Structure 1
Amino acid sequence: MADSSTRSTSSAVLYRMVMTDHMCPFGLKTKHLLRSHGYQVDDRPLRSREAIDAFKQEHGVTTTPQVFIAEQRIGGYEELRRHLGLPVRDPDKPSYRPVIALFSLTFLSALAASMGAFGTVFTVQAAMWFIAFSMVVLALLKLQDVESFATMFLNYDLLAQRWVPYARLYPFGEAVAGVLMIGGILHAVSVPLALFIGTVGAVSVFKAVYIDRRELKCACVGGNNAVPLGFVSLTENLMMIAMAVWMGWSHWGG
């Protein structure tokens, strides 16, 4: 690991791809990381495919950038982070970061909308918008790659396992319900739709996680993520149920 007491006077040699049609983003990140940790960077761009191939062959590496410190090859961006004692992201490690970011932004958006419409953030409508905004954004993430979502969803959704096309229809239904609920329109469509998909989803997640004790990834934020199935997906579905019940009661029972 690098000694912080010598960083200000240390130097590093960086080889990175800088061609007319492509500048390696990891090369730029590596250069910034070195400089931000006090290294004087001897930047040696590789400006042609021939130069890149010759460098790889000479040093027995398959990728660039490559960092050398005190004439010792450290490696690329992730290896440099390890050398500096910094964390390296593991794409397979379970993380709630995507849903924390999502719900934080939809919550703040709901408060901002409430403030703009009513002059205060503390309204029932703000809570309803929060759920509806969340539904729309969650649907958007799923719709970016419906096939990947459907594949992951089939691991645990009870209805999708019996009728496979439901896995592809689910994000469209969530999107339609969310958009209609934002506008407070077509309750006869949005309320039963949200109630149906929310109930099926909640039962499916509860069975998979809390009864069968299966460890699965959640499809709630799309098919390419490492969010664990459990509390988040169950909350997503319970929010839809609560929203449907509240809007149904307000529209027909209130």
Structure 2
Amino acid sequence: MADTNTRTGSGEKHAKLYRMVTPEHICPFGLKSKALLERKGYTVEDFHLRSRESTDQFKAEHNVKTTPQTFINGDRIGGYDALKKYFGLDVADPDEKTYAPVIAIFAMAFLMAAAARIALSESVFDVRTLEWFIAFAMCLLAVQKLRDLRAFSNQFLGYDLLAQRVVPYAYVYPFAEALAGVLMIAGAMIWLASPVAIFIGSVGAVSVFKAVYVDKRELKCACVGGNSNVPLGFVSLTENLMMIAMGVWMLAK
């Protein structure tokens, strides 16, 4: 049913790991379980389930629904999450709301802006860096939305006031955000980029404020694309206010 691949690690602590390894699929959670056991100093007896049939047979024999499965001292621990709990590690809740995607995008946008300024042999901490930071952030956020336009539109329609009245706007929004961001990076056609940024930012700000602070709704933000766990709130409002400020600033220049 399963073949033993290798034993790794050292010490008296011993574990058996059963994971799916076929020409079509290598289970990522199996690899993570093996790595975690090794970090904890276990000798790992690594059993590979080489086919779908052997995997199904293993699950039936042990009355489990998934693989990988880890056994320590003869006791079944379970899958990767169960193994993390066994070692007292935190297990991420897939439904837990998080700002991590937004933080990552804003951090990357700032680093890109700073790198661009350094490449031009100019000061990192100046107004142009701030302009590029916001413009890069707009482009990166647009990319996240465009990765799955259908999923974005579904989530966006849950709170955007204009999209709820004019559904095609949910599909236009990411392209408008990308256009404004690219033009602002180039410093070209500001007469077009700024009004676009001000318009979509204003509609977005009003929509977020109404949904969160007036209607008191707990929603997920579509700012980093559909199916995200980013909560709709202050960060989402800040994104829209940044676009408005950038649009006004670029016009004023």
User: Which band: TM-score by shorter chain?
Assistant: over 0.9
Runs of 4+ that moved beyond 3 A = none
Which residue, out of 145, 148, 166, partners 1:163?
A: 166
**Structure 2 residue matching 1:63: 3-state secondary structure:** coil
Which residue, out of 103, 106, 111, partners 1:108?
A: 111
Of stretches 230-239 and 132-141 in structure 1, the one that deviates more from structure 2 is: 230-239
Which residue, out of 25, 30, 34, partners 2:28?
A: 25
- Counterpart for residue 126 of structure 1: 129
Q: For residue 186 of structure 1, report the CA deviation from its aligned partner.
A: 0.8
Distance 2:185 2:64 in 1: 53
C-alpha contact (below 8 Å) 1:114/1:123 kept by paired residues:
no
1:56-104 CA-partner distances (Å, limit 9, x unpaired): 1111112111000111111111111111111111111111111111111
- Counterpart for residue 210 of structure 1: 213
**Structure 2 residue matching 1:214: 3-state secondary structure:** coil
Question: What code does the residue aligned with 1:21 have?
Answer: E
Q: For residue 21 of structure 1, report the CA deviation from its aligned partner.
A: 2.3
Which residue, out of 179, 183, 186, partners 2:182?
A: 179
C-alpha contact (below 8 Å) 1:8/1:37 kept by paired residues:
no
Aligned ranges for residues 40-55 of structure 1 at < 5 Å? 40-55=43-58
Structure 2 stretches lacking a partner, 5+ long: 1-9
Question: What code does the residue aligned with 1:16 have?
Answer: R
Q: For residue 119 of structure 1, report the CA deviation from its aligned partner.
A: 2.4
**Structure 2 residue matching 1:67: 3-state secondary structure:** strand
Distance 1:248 1:118 in 2: 26
**Counterpart check, 1:93 vs 2:71:** no
Which residue, out of 37, 57, 60, partners 2:60?
A: 57
Distance 1:219 1:121 in 2: 31
Q: For residue 50 of structure 1, report the CA deviation from its aligned partner.
A: 2.8
**Counterpart check, 1:80 vs 2:83:** yes
**Structure 1 residue matching 2:217: 3-state secondary structure:** coil
- Counterpart for residue 233 of structure 1: 236
Structure 1 stretches lacking a partner, 5+ long: 1-6
Q: For residue 118 of structure 1, report the CA deviation from its aligned partner.
A: 4.0
Q: TM-score, normalised by structure 1?
A: 0.93
- Counterpart for residue 191 of structure 1: 194
Question: What code does the residue aligned with 2:55 have?
Answer: I
Q: For residue 22 of structure 1, report the CA deviation from its aligned partner.
A: 1.8
**Counterpart check, 1:152 vs 2:145:** no
**Structure 2 residue matching 1:55: 3-state secondary structure:** helix
Q: TM-score, normalised by structure 2?
A: 0.93
1:119-175 CA-partner distances (Å, limit 9, x unpaired): 210111100000000000000000011111111111111111111111111111001
Q: Size of the alignment, in residue pairs?
A: 244
**Structure 1 residue matching 2:120: 3-state secondary structure:** helix
Q: For residue 8 of structure 1, report the CA deviation from its aligned partner.
A: 5.2
